[in-house]
Chain A
Amino acid sequence: MDRDIAIRCRGVTKRFHYYEHRTSTLRELFIRSVLRRPITVKAPLFTLSEFDLTVRTGESVGLIGPNGSGKSTLLRLIAGIYHPTEGTVETQGRVAAVIELGAGFHDDLTGAENVGFYGSVMGLTRRDLEDRFDDIVEFSGIGPFIDVPLKYYSSGMRARLAFAVSVCLEPDILLIDEVLAVGDEEFRERCLARLSELRARGTTLLVVSHELENLTDLCSRAVWIDGGTSRAEGATREVADAYRASAG
């Protein structure tokens, strides 16, 4: 892969077929093998099909589309959380995904302990973490609460801390899923400012958001995903307008 390409998806297809082809409980096994009745599909099958995407290093790309169109699945595939059914996903550099804010935080551990835990899940060494710890605490604006167990945090504080960890770990590629609507106005401003800063420093951004205004400020290019395929691609403003027109 060329050095100036950060993300490349080629012919990526993702099917979730667990409820369709596999027996997952004894009850289902009984229904299927003894009663010989088909089992109804329990989960909707969100798919991506034959999806191609190339993002150059340092580029910011927005993903637009209705719920269930495959945006989050795409982010998870790029983050390596899911593996494609067909096709390949290639990334260059460290990837951090902000998909569910605070997922994997532990209530019994303090803010500081959670920061350590989260950093190590992202594959950071202890030293890397120590270097960034002060920055994380400062950015989150949590102050002395950093040494208090997470169960005493408000949901806004949790979100602040989670966001702070993800952006302060300085990934090469940052994937963000609908989390810009987090925290109070002041914190949101700071998040957007930090994202612009990261972008200026060469971090590759891939952002899913329904707030098209923010997206237009943040991303030069956007992809409109619908039903698991790319429906339009181009300058964010144009793609956003087209999407608005179709939704409106």
Chain B
Amino acid sequence: MSKTSGSRRKGPLAAARNLWRYRDLVGRMTARNLKVKYKRSVLGFFWTLVNPLMTVTILVGIFSYVVRVEIEAYWAFLISGYFVWNFLGQTLSSATYVLREYGQLSRAVSFPKEAPILAAALSRLVEFTIEMVLVLVIVAVFRHGDLPASFAWIPLLVVIQVLIGLGLALPVATLAAFYHDVEHAIPILLTTLFYLSPVFYSADLVPESVRALYMLNPLAGLLTLFQSVIHEGQAPPPGLLLEVGVFSVMLLALGYTVFNRFEPLIAEVI
């Protein structure tokens, strides 16, 4: 039996169970995202790589030869974090329109609105995984000369990365369902965040006097972890790992709470 009333909201456990029941839907939405994106293009998946590849080439060129950033094997440093940033940025941009994409469906069928948000992150994760494998192969061969043991930490870091991505995407998608402004604000915010995050420079280059403040940016810790594991080939600093891990869980809890509070209204407003 199912019962709905104005005041009742699902607890996280009930919501997780409900989402599990709809896992097939999440899978189909993920597959659809990828299918629609690459349908009717001859080069298909290759296009996902073109944009980041261009950006990476330009950034490497500029910061190795023009504005010299004093980092050894700068190219390896850049690709250690760039794709992580790309995953988060693209997940957030899709969050601004993904609920509206399923607007008509939302008014015809009742389904958990987490599903399209989760599917947006998952389809990005599929692309990220392929990009990451390429990065790891290239860095292992051309920088380390063998497979560093530190690479074993990457799955854990990716889990943290996805938690952070969802923790941000859930409230952003909710807000975007109510306010169209979000669609315009997010690209600006992402550009700002790109410069405020250690993607093309390392966090130790930030003056020590402001570093504590700088590290409040949730992405700073995550990117630093990826860079130490991939570029330096060293185990992640345990303190930082714990900090970022705990933070990611808290962020997801908070983001989910906001989403859950407004979820019942989403079908009416989009």
Name A residues whose Cβ lies closer than 8 Å to a Cβ of B.
1, 16, 18, 22, 24-26, 76-77, 79-92, 95, 97, 99-100, 103-104, 106, 108-109, 116-117, 120-126
When chains A and B are docked, how far (Å) is the Cα of A95 from the Cα of B181? Answer: 35
Quick check: which of B18-26, B41-49, B224-232 contacts chain A, the rest being far away? B18-26
Q: What are 23 A-B interface contacts by the 8 Å CB criterion?
A: A1-B1, A24-B179, A81-B106, A81-B110, A81-B267, A83-B265, A85-B6, A87-B5, A88-B4, A89-B3, A89-B5, A91-B1, A97-B110, A99-B108, A104-B104, A104-B109, A108-B39, A120-B24, A120-B25, A121-B105, A122-B109, A123-B21, A125-B24
> Apart from A80-B2, A85-B6, what 9 extra A-B contacts exist at CB < 8 Å?
A22-B178, A80-B110, A81-B106, A81-B110, A82-B268, A87-B5, A99-B108, A108-B36, A120-B25
Kindly report which residue of chain A lies nearest to residue B21, judged by CB atoms. Answer: A123
The distance in angstroms between the C-alpha atoms of A124 and B181, with both chains bound, is 36
Q: How far is the CB of B5 from chain A (nearest CB, A)?
A: 4
Q: With the chains together, A84 CA to B32 CA distance in Å?
A: 32
Report chain B residues within 8 Å CB of A122: 109
Chain A residues whose CB sits within 8 angstroms of the CB of B28 once the complex forms = 116-117, 120
- Closest-CB distance, A97 to chain B (whole angstroms): 7
Q: Smallest distance from the beta carbon of A18 to chain B beta carbons, Å?
A: 6
Of all chain A residues, the one with the shortest Cβ separation from B110 is A80
Q: B107 at the A/B interface (Cβ < 8 Å)?
A: yes
Contact flag A25-B22 (CB < 8 Å), given A100-B107, A109-B32: no
| Interchain CB contact under 8 A, B35 and A103 | no
* Interchain Cβ contacts within 8 Å, total number: 100
CB proximity of B166 to chain A, nearest CB, Å:
21
8 residue pairs, one from A and one from B, having the closest CB atoms: A104-B105, A103-B108, A80-B110, A120-B25, A83-B264, A120-B24, A88-B5, A103-B104
CB contacts (< 8 Å) of B3 on chain A: these are 88-91
168-183 of chain B: CB within 8 A of chain A: 178-181
A118 to B, closest residue via Cβ: B109
Selected from B4, B39, B264, the residue in CB contact (under 8 A) with A89 is B4
Category for how many chain B residues contact A: 20 to 34
Q: Which A residues touch B6, using CB under 8 A?
A: 83-87
Decide yes or no whether B14 CB sits under 8 A from chain A.
Answer: no
Q: Mark B26-39 against chain A: 1 for CB-CB distance below 8 A, else 0.
A: 01100010011001
Take A18-B269, A103-B104, A108-B39 as given contacts and tell me if A84 and B5 are in contact as well, using a CB distance cutoff of 8 Å.
yes
Q: Say yes or no: A100-B108 contact (C-beta < 8 A), given A80-B4, A117-B28.
A: yes
Q: Knowing A16-B268, A25-B179 touch, does A83 contact B5 (C-beta < 8 A)?
A: yes
- In the complex, chain A residues whose CB is within 8 Å of the CB of B2: 80, 90-92
Cα distance, A79 to B16, chains bound together (Å): 20
A126 and B179 alpha carbons, distance in the complex (Å) = 36
Which residues of the partner chain A approach B39 to less than 8 Å between Cβ atoms?
Answer: 108
Among B24, B109, B269, contact of A97 (Cβ-Cβ < 8 Å):
B109
B111 within 8 A of A: yes
Q: From B9, which residue of chain A is reached at the shortest CB distance?
A: A83
Decide: A126 and B24 in contact? CB cutoff 8 A: yes
| Contact in complex: B108, A120 (CB < 8 Å) | no
Q: Which residues between 211 and 270 of chain B lie within 8 Å of chain A, taking CB atoms?
A: 264-265, 267-269
Expressed in whole angstroms, the minimum distance between the Cβ of B178 and any Cβ of chain A is: 7
